[in-house]
Each structure stands twice: as C-alpha cells, then as structure tokens.
Structure 1
C-alpha cells in the first residue's frame, strides 16, 4: 500500500484509531461498517483476529486508519503472547482509542481490565457499546449505565455494527477528533493487508464458521500463489496448517466433505473479492505446535 505524498498538514486531518475490547465483541464488524467494505473477517469464535488489521476510511479531507486489534486476553502460547504485545504497542502509539463492549453480555472483568488500562491513555478514548439490536430499550439503558460507571471515555455510543445502527454517529465523532496530518494512506485504499494475506483470511473465515472446539484456533491459512493467466479465471493455491493428524481429519472430513464445504464457501468470498471465477486449490498440512514455532510465526507475519 502506497503512502500518500504532498498533502499540506493544514489542509487535511488523519489519525490512527485502535479498537480495544474482549474477544468477540464485534470489533471487526465495526471496522468493516465504518470502512464500508469487508477488510476484516468476522466469526463468533475468539481469536478470529490475529493480526492488527488496519481499515482505511476517507472522507474529503479527513482519514481514519482503524486498527482491529486482537481481543485482549491472557496469553496462552507464543502466538497469543505476540498478539497481546501487538495490542499493547498499538494502544501506546494510537491517536484515538475506541473501546468496544458487548451490550448483550454486559460489563465483565475483562472490560474492567481494559478500562483501567485506558484511563491514563495519552489520547482521546471513545466507547462503543455494540449489539444493542439484541436488547430492548430498558436493557440498553441498563447496559449504558454500567458502561458509564467504568469511568473511561469522553463519549459513549450505542451501536449495532451488524445492522449499521449508530455507526454513522460514531464515525462522525471519530472523524472530528483526529489530528491535523497528511493522509497516512492513499484515499482509494481500504486496508493495509497484502492481497495474499487478505485472501488467506477470507478462506480462514470459512474454516472458523464450520469447525468447533480447538480446531478453529489450530488452523492458519497461507496463500502460496494466485494464477491469473487465464482470462476470467483466477486459480488460488493455498494450504491450511493444523497441529495434529486428528485436526487434519476433522478439517478434511469424512470422504472430504468438510474441506469441500469450506472450499465452496471460500470460493464465493474470493469471487466476490476478485471479480472473477475462482478455482481454489486448498491443501491441509500438519505442522505440530506451529503456534509455538517462532520461525514459522515470523514467516506468517505475526510480529514478535
């Protein structure tokens, strides 16, 4: 992604907005809603977001660079340790912190931990209470009161990222508080993910939607090659890492049924993204303990 050049500081404003919250509160859906297109995959599984995915939203002379951070959690292995360190670095360097909570779940210990971490933040803190569409008015009021008692954030916005309710008001506020700056990315860009990583994430999303227990967390998808030699057809060569033969068996499924379902779902997403017919060549491979393998994590692009 190219950096924009030549914009006068006084003419434009731009800033980074880091989203902090427990796993599965809807940060990715909020990023997609503000950007206006899918830049982060969405699932009801924790650890869906492993990288600090940046979505870029530009309006006239203002630009937001939204960082969809991994959900704040207790590190369990080398992978989640790296994820947690990335969260801490991003929050220390951001222009605005956006704390996201799940209205349906209410305020929990994890939310209080994040709120304490943000109380002394050197940047403005905004709070979004997501999934209000799942509550009636009385319960929304109770949820907002509980959030206000956390003592963090200058503004609290009730939103439904899934339905779009309240997203415009939240985005308007974020656009209004970023500092004067040249644009950080080209106005036409929507994400800083490399094309191969973005395609791999779309495939992994289909794995997350169809697998349960440990399997979703033990899978990482890598796109090795994208062949566009034939007009109107894109061939995507990818493989999925798992940690054990039993996980491979689950992912492949009886008679290859599961991997075919994953491939069918992934092809639809890839075709929507690429605008062509897609042939997906997806191979499952076993790499024992990959989440604790520093060399592999480096190669996969997870910052140390």
Structure 2
C-alpha cells in the first residue's frame, strides 16, 4: 500500500542529502515543446537551492538547430528512441509519444546518478521545496509520485450509462487495464485504485522499481494505448507488484488553477491555507502551452482578480 505523505524535511537536511549523491532533473521535448523545456530549465536555474542538481534533456525529435540552442543550458543531452519496439510500431509518426516511454528509462539514458527526477516539459519549478520532498520520498521508498486527480476529487469514474437507477461506470485504471488485456483478477484489483500522474516523479538509481515498471509498460502497450500506459505501469508496480511508494503532495505536481499570494506574488494552492505551489503543470492547457502571451484571470489570496499566464516568468517567483 502507498505510504503516507512524507513529512516536510528541513532545507538544510535535504540539501545536504542531495550533495551526498548525484541528482538529475530530466525532461524531454521535440521542437514544439522546446520553448516549454527551456522555461523549465530556466526555472530550475533560478533557484539557488537547486545548485548542484544536474539537468538532462532527451530529444524526442528536435531539429539540429533547436537542439544546439538547448545543449548549453543542460549538463546532459541524449537522443530519444523507442525503448519498447511495440510502442514504436504502434505510435507510427506520433513521435510526441516517445517521451511517455523515455521517462521510464531515464537511468539508461543518463547512467550514474543516485536520483532521477522526471518533470514534463510543460511544467516548471515555482518553489524548490517540491524537489526536497521528492528527494525525501525517494530516500524513503525508492519511488516518489503524486496522484493524477485533484485532492478533493473521486478516483475518476467515467459514467457510461444509467440503467434502472444504477450507474455503470469505469474508473481510469479499470479502463486502461481492460484495454491492455489484463486479467480479470488484475482488473478487479485496479478498479478502485487512484491513478498516479508521472508528469513529475522520482526514482532512486538503485531502485528495484525500474525493471518492473519497464516490464509493465512493455506488457501494456501490446494492446493498450501508449498514452496512459506510462502511468499505469507505475500503478501496477505499486498495486500489483507490491513495490513501495511515497505519495507526494499535490504541490509537487500542481494541475489545478492556482491563486496568487497577495504578499509575495508567488503561485499558491487554491485551497486554504494556500501553500506555495512547488511544480506548476500546464497539462491540457493547449492554448497557453502554444503561446506564452496567453493569460487568464486568477484570484489572489485577498480575492482580487489578477491577470497572468501560468507559464514561467522570472517575476512570478516569490520575492522574499
């Protein structure tokens, strides 16, 4: 069963732990996502608390010119590939799906690190405490990841029909398990499981999770969709294979609409007591991901309207 959320470690303790081992933050991008990846990289570099953590980039189809612009901003660069042949065959020309496979193989691309933290290119680090929590989770369990849904939402029931007063529904995990052809026993065990979102997750370099997650992914993509299978591979490792996990707080992979702190200008969680957002993830915000000029109306912690983009801008980091 998943462990409880790790207690927030002191900054000095976790920074010291990071210095005792080699840590890399990894992302992947093609030309379309390269501007977002550049913003993620800039957001990491903006935090002195993250000095000493390497940045690694997997090219999932960047043109030579774009890749050469990105190369000086990171310590490591690798060309992505279809680590699972079946995934490559099923993807066809949808190369943007490559990162969903690559993120489960970061140790193979960049060997020698003690901790690997994957962050999707359409996310950025608002508060370095989120990285501290991920490191603490990895130290405890070997795997640190958060849930895919909002803190107050159910497990994602998809209502298919209504018959005689009975709702017939499929959860996210049930749907993917059936599509991938998992056994009836496995599907039942996963039916009420909350899915993880591995847009942000971390693994220890010596974690036993790596081959299990990769084997699960290989099994899933034979029949199931690549999209979602990368998350299900981790779900299966925890709930079917029994490997440990530290569940990260929502702030480590914030998918909701944030508020803005009226005092510091930092992005904070919408829910009281408005803790700082650690990693802000722009999943499903297509217009904003495509155009950094796109903004939206947000509320600050005093209830006033603030017009902002959710993409990284240096002046959005907390002052003081």
TM-score, normalization by structure 2: 0.30
TM-score, normalization by structure 1: 0.31
